[in-house]
Amino acid sequence: MKPGALTISLAVALALGGMLVGAMLGVTSTDPLRLLSAIASSDPSSNDVLLAWRVQRVVGAFLVGACLAMAGVIYQGAFRNPLAEPFLLGSSAGGALGAVFAILLPWPWLSAVGLPVMAFVGAWGATLLVLGISRAARIEDAAGMLLVGIALAALLGALRSAVTLVLADESVSLRALVSWTLGGLQSPTGTTLWTFAALTALCLVASLALARKLDILGFGEATAATMGVDVGRFLTLALTVAAFATGLAVAWGGVLAFVGLIVPHAVRWWIGERHAPLLLHSALVGGGFLAVFDGISRSVLAPSEIPLGLLTSLIGAPFFLLLLVRRYR
Amino acid sequence: MLTRRHLFAIGAAFAADLLLSGRVLALEDATGNTLNLPAPPRRIVALNPAMVESVVAIGALDRIVGIGGKVLYPESVLHLPSVGGAFGFSVEAVLALDPDLVVMAVGTDAAAQLARPLSEMGVPIFLATYTDFASILAYMRLLGAALGLSDRAERLVSSMQATISDVAETLKDRPRRGVYLETGAAGNAAFQTVRAGHYADDGIRLAGGRNVFTLRGPRQVTVEGIAEADPDVIVVLASDPALTPEIVAARPGWSALRAVRESKVVVLPRGFMLIPGPRQAEAVRILARAIHPEAFAR
Amino acid sequence: MIQVERLRVVRNESVLLDDVSFSLARGEVVALLGPNGAGKTTLVKALVGLARLSDGCVEVEGRPIGSYRAGERARLLAYVAQQQDFIWDLEVGEIVALGARSPEDATHALAKFDLGTFAHRRIKSLSGGERARVMLARALAAQTPFLVADEPAANLDIKYQRHAMQRLRQAAQTANVGVLVVLHDLNLAFTFADRVLLMHEGTLVLDAPAADAAASLVLDRVFGERFIRTTVEGRTLVLPAGEPE
């Protein structure tokens, strides 16, 4: 389908619909009217508080999904490879290390700073480090940066293992740490949620500004250079933006590994490969789907909660295989 | 089918019989691992907090030659050589201490790394296994038999049981209160709790409470799930010493919980409460005080 | 005006270009000829900033090419590579629009290369020749003062070979574009180019107007062929006739 008013409307419908379904699901199902009255209510009963919590949570899930999808599109464009995904340049290793520090280190200022900030700093910081090292070593091509990313991820992973081994004892729940690493929403609310939303919108705007050059990069780094793309600088800029979005997603959603890979793919099959519409549609579709998945994670085995990342992999992988098979038939 | 409880019983009876008959001590611990001890061990290596505390509490402190793992209590063992911890356990370090018994718990890193190599070298090992509260008492009895200190072990078990009865007496006639016990959390989410059959779940019951969750699935819950279960009291076992009930109450959505609105949130140190060893009875008393504060305010 | 002075490119101790100097003015079509390995592609890459110069310089409109930023250079020089891969399966219209000076220029360029009906076709569904025309259209749509094409005729049908050269010549004449084209087909070069550059083993051995180049025996020497020159319908053709005598 050609991207246009119809596809955007569908994507928005998927996004809103996803959030609605996600908000309706939970320990108990709720109908949309109850949800609306709950958010609007000025003197919230405890039921209303919970419904408001749920609504904010699915909005958070939407934002995490949108960020991962956008980052996925940019990474695939920068690496000129549809198999690229947002955690290629150390974001997951860095984010997990930040989380481990926040959860295991007994420093009081760390608890004040909080888990999401530490995870964000770790995730974005790791990729900035990769980009910085690449710059210093005059590595300007994506393949070289990938190697730097692999090395740094290994280093950060080892650091994380070491810190965990040293600091984990009976006073710490390793299970909670593992669960975070598998991925799960942190329930951002109030001003934090608004800030998150604003930053996500900012990422979208920045990504759209990169879209045309991502298209041009598809001709190959040599041809792109002759078409006005300063490849080294552009890659650094694009990946910095993508890593920022990834950092936001990791801060509030842990390491959700599968979303940034399949959403851009599926959306490409739907509306084509030009990056500008791809970014917008992927953000909407990715967010909508993650909101639904969050609802599922809270309702299928209620009152237990399935770690969201587990769900996205368990459901996402076979679904992706199905799409792949149908496309190649 | 033989359950762990049956194995405990068999093992304990077997051990008692041997001791009474004065023969060479050969017993089977609960894992089916056969322990052959020509004499009560005099050079003991104990690994991980629960095992170390148990050996000391049974009265064999002077016979411990080495410890391992993240042991912080009691002070009297902290000077002893360590055979490993954060980065693994060393078979050589254990052998260098020339032990005649190594005490470990099934499922720990120590057991995973040392049990097979040591038993292949003929070093006697005692593998404790535990699930619920009763199984903790059972392994301590078995350990006592292995150490040749059965009556000391029996006295320890009795004193723990006395603490439990004491608590039960204090709580006599009081209705059980619904308890949500949180054993872990990552930031504002990923709340972990305990399943039935875990000694902490038993602890809730012994402390005059009722676990509001009877989970069969993942042990992770959301605030919605907690609200649905509607606990009377919330007990958070915290890693962060700076965590307070106010901070817990401020978690998103938690103001919807009745226990939060009624200020029935208690924060306890996870490190103390979740060691399956001799201090577990005391942990139950502390838990009871958290669940029924008025009963203990004398 | 593009001015190339004493260009020298050395890679891994082998001299790919040695002391190459020439100029390319706006409005003229220059053909670059030579046997394989003569250095044509290296010269083209040096021109568009894709090869590092060991010595010499390339000046575009009076300034060294290195002094332009990537974006400025793209507005001066359009480049059509010998081989083009497409990672993303974009539509023909979308590709031509990338780097076009305006949407109208893109539409006109599509029409010029008979690609009007292809606008919504995906690039990977096109044949090699059709893709080549797309990349030529894209270069033309950029409306740059200079255009450099490396063997654009290689994949094209005979009809489209002449057609493409006509379009390039037209761009030179009406839009005052300076065109440098690498060609293998000698007659295509002599028919459509104003001037011919002939390369041999990294050096420029001939820089002459097309008619003079066609008649020159340097051709025979460089290609190791005996060429027969003949006039048909008023045009001089150069035909290979076997080993030199």
Residue in A closest to B87 by C-alpha: A165
Tell me, what amino acid is at A82?
P
| Mean local confidence (pLDDT), B270-283 | 93
How many Å apart are CA A70 and CA A86, to the nearest integer?
9
- Within 190-209 of B, beta carbons closer than 8 Å to A belong to 190-192
Residue A44 phi/psi, 5° resolution?
-70, 130
Phi and psi, residue C59, nearest 5°: -115, 130
Average pLDDT over residues A48-67: 92
What phi, psi does C17 have (nearest 5°)? -135, 140
Q: Identify whether the C-beta of residue A290 lies closer than 8 Å to the C-beta of residue A64.
A: yes
Residue A50: CB atoms within 10 Å: 27
B151 — contact with chain A (CB < 8 Å)?
Answer: no
Task: Give the residue among A127, A152, A151 at the shortest CA–CA distance from A74.
Answer: A127
- The span from the CA of C176 to the CA of C145, in Å, is 7
Q: Do A227 and C85 touch (CB under 8 A)?
A: no
Chains C and B touch (3+ CB pairs under 8 A): no
pLDDT of residue B26: 59
CB contacts, 8 Å: A307 with chain B: 190, 218, 220
Structure tokens at C126: 């096109």
Q: Is the dihedral of CA B126, B129, B133, B138 positive or negative?
A: negative
Percentage, residues of chain C above pLDDT 90 = 71
Whether pLDDT at A264 is above 60: yes
Q: Which of A165, A179, A298 sits opposite B86 (nearest CB)?
A: A165
Interface size between A and C, measured as CB pairs under 8 A: 65
Is A211's pLDDT higher than 60? yes
Nearest partner of A21 among A287, A301, A320, judged by Cα: A287
C-alpha torsion sign, points A296, A302, A303, A305 = negative
Alpha carbon distance B90, B110 (integer Å): 9
pLDDT of B227 strictly over 50: yes
The structure tokens listed for A293 are 């998945």
Higher pLDDT, A170 or C143: C143
| pLDDT score, position C82 | 87
C-beta separation of A252 from A63 below 8 A: yes
The pLDDT of residue A33 is above 90: no
Looking at the complex, does the CB of residue B280 fall below 8 Å from at least one CB of chain A? no
pLDDT in tens, B233-248: 999 999 888 889 999 9
The A residues from 217 to 236 touching C (CB cutoff 8 Å) are: 218-220, 222-223, 225-230
Task: Answer yes or no: do B86 and A166 touch at CB < 8 A.
Answer: yes
Q: Are A233 and A135 in contact (CB under 8 A)?
A: no
Rounded to whole angstroms, the Cα distance separating C40 from C20 reads 11
Measured between beta carbons, the chain B residues lying within 8 angstroms of A175 are: 183-184, 192, 219
Confidence (pLDDT) at B119: 86
> How would you label B167-201 residue by residue, b for 16+ Cβ within 10 Å and e otherwise?
beebbeeeeebbbbbbbbbbbbbbbbbbeeebbbb
Q: How far apart are alpha carbons A190 and A187 in whole angstroms?
A: 10
Tens digit of pLDDT for each residue in B124-144? 999 998 999 999 999 999 999
Which pTM was predicted? 0.89
pLDDT of residue A134: 93
With 60 as the cut, is the pLDDT of residue B15 above it?
Answer: no
Closest CA in chain A for residue B257: A46
Taking all residues of chain B, what is their mean pLDDT, rounded to a whole number?
88
Nearest CA in chain C to A274: C90
**Which residues of chain B does A168 touch, with a Cβ-Cβ cutoff of 8 Å?**
70
Total residues belonging to chain A: 329
Give Cα separations from C196 to B249, C186, C237 (angstroms): 84, 10, 15
Residues of B in contact with A170 (CB under 8 A): 49, 70, 270-271, 274-275
Closest CB from A54, A99, A306 relative to B218: A306
Q: Quote the pLDDT of residue B10.
A: 52
Residue to mutate among A83, A273, A278, A279, with most C CBs inside 10 A, is: A273
pLDDT confidence of residue C168: 93
Residue B184, phi then psi, degrees to nearest 5? -175, 160
Cα C192 to the center of its chain, rounded Å? 12
* pLDDT given for residue C117 in this prediction: 93
Residue positions counted in chain B:
298
Of C50, C75, C120, the CB nearest to A222: C50
Secondary structure of residue A87 in the 3-state scheme: coil
| Count of other CB atoms within 10 angstroms of residue C69 | 9
B8, pLDDT greater than 60: no
**Cβ separation A179–B220 shorter than 8 A:** yes
Task: Identify whether A303 is preceded by a cis peptide bond (ω within 30 of 0).
Answer: yes
Contacts made by residues B247-255, CB under 8 angstroms, sequence distance 24+: B251/A187, B251/B188, B251/B223, B252/A53, B252/A56, B252/A187, B252/A188, B252/A189, B252/B188, B252/B223, B253/A49, B253/A50, B253/A52, B253/A53, B253/A54, B253/A187, B253/A189, B253/B223, B253/B224, B253/B227, B254/B223, B255/A46, B255/A49
Nearest-angstrom CA–CA distance, A250 and B183: 24
Tokens standing for B146?
A: 């292995």
Instruction: Determine, for residues C75 and A228 on separate chains, whether the beta-carbon distance falls below 8 Å.
Output: yes
Q: Considering only A16-20, A184-188, B11-15, B24-28, which range has the smallest mean pLDDT?
A: B11-15
User: A43-47, A69-73, B59-63: lowest mean pLDDT where?
Assistant: A43-47
**Per the structure block, which two tokens stand in for B157?**
């078990």
Residue contact A111–B242, C-beta within 8 A: yes
Closest-approach residue (CA) in chain C for A79: C87
Q: Is the pLDDT of residue B17 over 70?
A: no
Print burial letters for A189-202: b (CB count within 10 Å at least 16), e (below 16). Answer: beebbeebbebbee
Q: What is the mean pLDDT of each run of 10 residues along chain C (245 residues)?
A: 93 91 94 92 91 91 89 93 90 93 93 92 92 94 95 88 92 93 93 94 93 90 89 86 69
Closest C-alpha to B143, from B253, B64, B72: B64
Q: For residue C85, list chain A residues with Cβ-Cβ distance below 8 A.
A: 219-220
Cis peptide before C209 (omega within 30 of 0): no
Contacts of A305 in chain B (CB under 8 A): 190-191, 218, 220-222, 225
Q: For the residues of chain C, what is the DSSP string, one character each? A: -EEEEEEEEEETTEEEEEEEEEEE-TT-EEEEE--TTSSHHHHHHHHHT-S--SEEEEEETTEEGGGS-HHHHHHHEEEE-SS---SS--BHHHHHHTT-SSHHHHHHHHHHTT-GGGTTSBGGGS-HHHHHHHHHHHHHHT--SEEEEESTTTTS-HHHHHHHHHHHHHHHHHH--EEEEE-S-HHHHHHH-SEEEEEETTEEEEEEEHHHHHH-THHHHHHT-PEEEEEETTEEEEEE-SS--
B137-195 pLDDT, tens digit each: 999 999 999 999 999 999 999 999 999 999 999 999 899 999 999 999 998 889 999 99
Phi-psi category of residue A88: left, alpha or beta, with phi > 0 → left and psi -120 to 50 → alpha: alpha
The mean predicted confidence, pLDDT, of chain A is: 90
Phi-psi region at B208: left, alpha or beta (left = phi > 0; alpha = psi -120 to 50): left
Q: pLDDT tens digits for A110-161?
A: 777 789 999 999 999 999 999 999 999 988 888 899 999 999 999 999 999 9
- The DSSP code sequence of B170-211 is HTTTPPPEEEEEE-EEETTEEEE---TTSHHHHHHHHTTEEE
Cβ within 8 Å, pair A225-C70: yes
Provide the pLDDT confidence category of residue A44 given band limits of 50, 70 and 90.
Answer: low
Residue type, C69: R
pLDDT at B18 over 50: no
Give the model's pLDDT for residue B25. 55
Question: What is the reported pLDDT for A173?
Answer: 87
Segment B39-55 shows an average pLDDT of 93
Q: Which residue has the tokens 């593009």?
A: C2
DSSP A193: H
Q: Count Cβ atoms within 10 A of the Cβ of residue B61 and give its class: 0-12 exposed, 13-18 middle, 19 or more buried.
A: middle
Nearest CA in chain A to C47: A226
Looking at the partner chain, which of A173, A185, A306 has a beta carbon nearest the beta carbon of B239? A173
- Which residues pair with residue C203 across a beta bridge? C200
CA nearest neighbour of C90 among A220, A206, A210, A268:
A268
Give CA–CA dist C53/C17, Å, rounded: 9
pLDDT recorded at residue C150: 93
Higher pLDDT, C78 or A82: C78
Q: Which chains touch C (3 or more CB pairs under 8 A)?
A: A
Average pLDDT over residues A260-276: 92
Residue of A nearest to B69 (CA): A169
- Find the mean pLDDT for residues A291-303: 91
**Dist CA B137 CA B160 (whole Å):** 8
The whole-number pLDDT of residue A162 equals 93
> What ipTM score was computed for the predicted complex, to two decimals?
0.89
Q: Is a pLDDT exceeding 50 seen at residue B19?
A: no
CA–CA dist B277, B231 (Å, integer): 27
Task: Print burial letters for A214-235: b (CB count within 10 Å at least 16), e (below 16).
Answer: bbbbbbbbbbbbbbbbbbbebb
Q: Count how many Cα atoms sit within 13 Å of the Cα of residue A95 in the half-sphere of its side chain.
A: 31
Residue pointed to by tokens 């497409």: C86
Q: pLDDT of C47-78, one tens digit each?
A: 998 888 899 999 999 899 889 988 999 999 99
The CA distance from A153 to A96, in Å, is: 10
CB-based burial, C96-118: b 16+ in 10 Å, e otherwise? bbbbbeeeebbbbbbebbebeeb
A 10 A CB-CB count for A205 gives 10
What sign has the CA pseudo-torsion B76, B82, B84, B90?
Answer: negative
pLDDT at res. A46: 73
B26: β partners: B36
Half-sphere exposure of B104 (CA within 13 A, CB side): 25
Chain B closest CA to A317's CA: distance in Å? 21
Rounded average pLDDT over B194-223: 92
pLDDT (average), residues B208-224: 91
| pLDDT of res. B181 | 96
